[in-house]
Every structure is written in structure tokens, then in C-alpha cells.
Chains A and B, each alone.
Chain A
């Protein structure tokens, strides 16, 4: 035992002599550049969304926030956007899979900075924030409503507010109480019996509901974290003080994150995401329906009447380049999911698109081990990180809270 203690103290001494003797700075210039690129102060203001002319209209955002929290925006009056996107929980719900009217197969995504996403949902099956907002409203497992009922409800409950923003509501007196091309058999039949003009009228009100909710969601922004204070001090050469100072373990974790562990390859920029889709070998969840990720979302976003090419877009088609130049096929889309932002991630377990991992330790262990994908090819390679290195990465991730 004494002998071991000697070895440990000597090794520490030797390490100190070696490090101190060389006067090695904590971070190389390349590392400093990468760290600066991750700091929140480099995040530009959200770009204008020309496909939603109401995106920055305060009255639209106000109506959107009312609708976001309104449980009447569902089939049975019990589910609103905020049921899963909880305002005091980073607009997510801490569940492995979201539960609305039914049990879904995907993890609720948080909303901070969402206005900057080019694609929505884990698989990118919608191409704008307003088109995204419409989808849960009619998903039978989420809000389970139908667009005709929503149009009637808006007219009855928020008619005046709606008209001040979007102009006169259409005459809905002959529109069935419940109708949607995506609803139950009865709702589909009712929808198909409507005239084209009626369907257009309802779709227009429905699209505007999405545009109002999107206007509200644009205001949800990421907050400054310990990491950002540390990064600013590092960039300016100031000595990080108070909680901006990192422990040796956090510094090691940061170095691994931007170095050997390659996390920053995909988790890049001030939102810690490349906004792209990757197969990282995350295992499927037993008993959930088959889920192939991005490869199945391509057809869905193309078929969505509310996509950027559709007639409910404001502005011109120059805003549709993401959709126009989207990758439509290929092996790399199989079980590919969007890179999530890591800001605030430490406080919102479980992780991955179906809540597969219950802790950051499990996430880091997965990327260190890099198992093969059940389908498609995983883009990640084994890292064989030590226990100490994995703990350091987790310690660093907690500074993003």
C-alpha cells in the first residue's frame, strides 16, 4: 500500500514537472478557435421566415402563444402543444416518448432556438416551423383534432383576434363540424364531400394557426450557460472567475469534445448541431412501430400540402432551397436522425429520438462503443474512452446547462 501511494505521488509529480516545465498553454490556438465557434455570442439573430409573413408580427405571436397553451386545441380538450412542450421544462416533457391523446413513438424535442432549424421533427418530415406546428394538431396520438373543427373553433373563440392579424375569416357555415384529409374514415369522407373552395378556406385558416404558433415559438431562445461565460473569457484572455471557471475535469471534457471524441464534428456551431441527419447506431425500442428515420420522411415532406412548394407559403419560392436541394434517397438516410442541440441537454434525460438512453453516461458510453446500426450504416467509430474520459465528457456537457 505504501508502495502504491509512492508510485501515485511520484507519477503526479512527474506529470506536473513535465506539464509545468514545458509551460504548455491550456488550449492550442486551433482549440480556442473551435471553442469560440461554439459560444452563444456567435449565434446570429434568427433569419426572417419569408414563408410566414406573420413570423415577426407581435399580435400573431400573442395569438400563437394562446393557442400553444390551449387544451381545447385537441380532440378531447385535454392536450395542447404545451402538454409535451412544457414551458418550465425547456419545452419538453422528460418522457422517453411523448404522450398526447395516445402514446407516440418519438421523444419530444425542446424548442430553444427552433426558429433556426431547416428541418423539423427528428426525421425532418416538415420543412418550416409553421408546417411543423400543424402536424401534432391532427396526429391521432398527439392532439388528434381535425382542421375543420379547428377552423370552427378559431372563428367561435378567437374570431376577432384572428381577423385583426390575418384578415376576414371565410364563411364556414356550410363546412362540416369535423373534416380532414388525415382524420378518421368519417372525417375523410366529410372532407372529400367538401368543395375545393371550402377545402381551401379551411386549409388557409389551418395554415394561419400554424403561422401564429410559429410566430410565438420563434421567441424561444437558448440562454447563456457556464460554458458561454468560460468561452468568452477564453476568447478575450480574461481569467474565468466564479462559475465561469472550469474544473480540470470539465476542461478535459471540453478538450475531448472538440478533439479525440469528435463530438464537435456534428455538434458544431453555437447551437451544437449541424442541422443534418445521421445514423449513429442508436438501437430501436422494442414494441414501438418500425422507425427508419430520415429515409421515410422524404416522401412525407414532399407530400405535405403545407410545405414550402405549396400554395400556403408566403413570399416566393427562393425560400425553398432546403426542400429543393434535399437529399432524396441513399443508404445514408436509413435510420438517420437530426443532430439535437446539446444546450440544456444535461437537464433533460432521457436521450435520443425515442428516449433510448436514460442518462448522459449511457449516451457517452454508446458513442465510445459505437455499436453497428440495426439497419443502414452507423457513421460513428469506436473511441474506447476510459471511464475517466467518459466522466469528463459528461462533466463538460453539464456546463451547457
Chain B
């Protein structure tokens, strides 16, 4: 009780000074938090789950080398586009007659693809047209290809960031 009363009196007497004390304390605390967060961020190992936007990579079990590019240059958000998936063996030979299924979505949004892309044509030299690809929003997309060919079955995930 006595303490509380004294507090009220002192606040009334030196209201402005104590407000500045609060502000400085607040700023100091904020600076400390920023500092700690910076250290945590800088020393944290960079997440291996982040997007890997390379357009050419080995399939999961190293059976094929896959590359994935838009058929006509640029990615245009909101448009149905065709892409080319090129499959080579580890030795560099084109993969013919592959059965390809496509799945995917946005890992950070917990939703799948807005369309069902399909391998529609074989264009020779290991190149397959993947038609019906559409990215309806900005962010991190994943397209996963399951590939079955004479050499065996394997899969590969491409990350696309808009």
C-alpha cells in the first residue's frame, strides 16, 4: 500500500522524466531483441528445405539428369503455359519413351497445383512437352515429376519462385 502510494506521487511529480525513461528502456530492449535475432539468423544453418531454383538437376536416385524450362521463354503468372522437361541418362543419352506424371503445389501455402499438367508430346532428344502448367500466385511453387523409363523409375522436384 505505501509503495503504491509513493509510486503515484512520484509519477505525478516527474511524469515527463519517467516517460522518457520508459521510452529509452523500450528502445534499448528493442535493440537487444534485434541484436539477438540477427545473431540467431546469421548463425543458423540455412534451411535445406528452401527453394532450389536450378533448372537442371539429377533425379532423386541419380538415374537421370532432368531439366525443366518454359517452352516459350518467360513465366507469365496466371497463364496456362507449356514447359519442356528434358531427360538424359547419367551418361548423357536422351531418355526415350518415358512415362511421366506431374504433381506439386505451394509448400508454404499447403495447397496443390491449380491445374493438372500432363506430358502431352515427345519432341525427340529426350524432350517432353509438359502442358497445362499454371502459376496463379506469387511465391514458391514445386513441380514433382515421377519418371519411368527403360533405365528404371525415379523422381525429381523443381522449385519455381515467382
Contact = CB atoms under 8 A, between A and B. Distances in A.
Contact of B112 (A264, A266, A274, A327): A327
B138 A327 contact: no
Interface stretch (B33-41, B42-50, B54-62, B129-137): B129-137
Interface centre among A6, A322, A324, A328 (most CB of B within 10 A): A324
B116 A268 contact: no
Nearest to A262: B109
A321 B129 CA distance: 14
Given A325-B115, A328-B116, A266 B80 contact: no
A379 interface: yes
Contact of B109 (A265, A322, A325): A265
A14 interface: yes
B77 A3 contact: no
B23 A321 contact: no
Contacts of B132: 321, 324-325
A373 B74 CA distance: 37
Contacts of A265: 109, 137-139
Given A3-B11, A268-B138, A332-B111, A321 B131 contact: yes
A251 interface: no
Interface centre among A278, A325, A379 (most CB of B within 10 A): A325
Contacts of A321: 80, 131-132
B78 interface: yes
Contacts of B111: 278, 332, 379
Nearest to B132: A325
B51 interface: no
B97 interface: no
A274 B137 contact: yes
A264 B12 CA distance: 48
Contacts of B115: 322, 325-327
Q: Which 6 A-B pairs have the closest CB atoms?
A: A325-B132, A274-B136, A325-B115, A276-B136, A276-B114, A321-B80
Contacts of A277: 114
Contacts of A177: none
Given A6-B16, A332-B112, A325 B136 contact: no
A275 B112 contact: no
B162 to A, nearest CB: 10
Contact of B113 (A7, A322, A327, A328): A327
Interface of B: 11-12, 15-16, 19-20, 23, 77-78, 80, 109-118, 131-132, 134, 136-139
Interface residues of A, number: 26
Contact of A275 (B19, B110, B136): B136
A340 to B, nearest CB: 14
A326 B78 contact: no
A9 B46 CA distance: 43
A346 to B, nearest CB: 23
A6 B19 contact: yes
B146 to A, nearest CB: 17
A330 interface: yes
Contacts of A332: 111-112
A377 interface: yes
Given A276-B114, A328-B116, A10 B19 contact: yes
Nearest to B15: A3
Interface in A290-332: 321-322, 324-328, 330, 332
Nearest to A116: B78
Nearest to A379: B111
B80 A325 contact: yes
Contacts of A14: 23
A339 to B, nearest CB: 9
7 contacts: A6-B16, A265-B138, A276-B114, A276-B136, A325-B80, A327-B113, A328-B116
A332 B111 CA distance: 7
Given A276-B114, A325-B116, A379 B109 contact: yes
Nearest to A330: B112
B78 A275 contact: yes
Interface string A1-21: 001001100100010000000
Contacts of B134: 325
A350 interface: no
A269 interface: yes
Nearest to B109: A379
Interface in A255-283: 264-266, 268-269, 274-278
A268 B131 CA distance: 23
Contacts of A330: 112
B114 A327 contact: yes
Nearest to A328: B116
Interface centre among A7, A275, A276, A379 (most CB of B within 10 A): A276
Given A265-B139, A268-B138, A327 B116 contact: yes
Contacts of A274: 78, 114, 136-137
Nearest to A277: B114
A50 to B, nearest CB: 14
Nearest to B134: A325
Nearest to A47: B79
B117 A325 contact: yes
Contact of B19 (A7, A264, A266, A377): A7
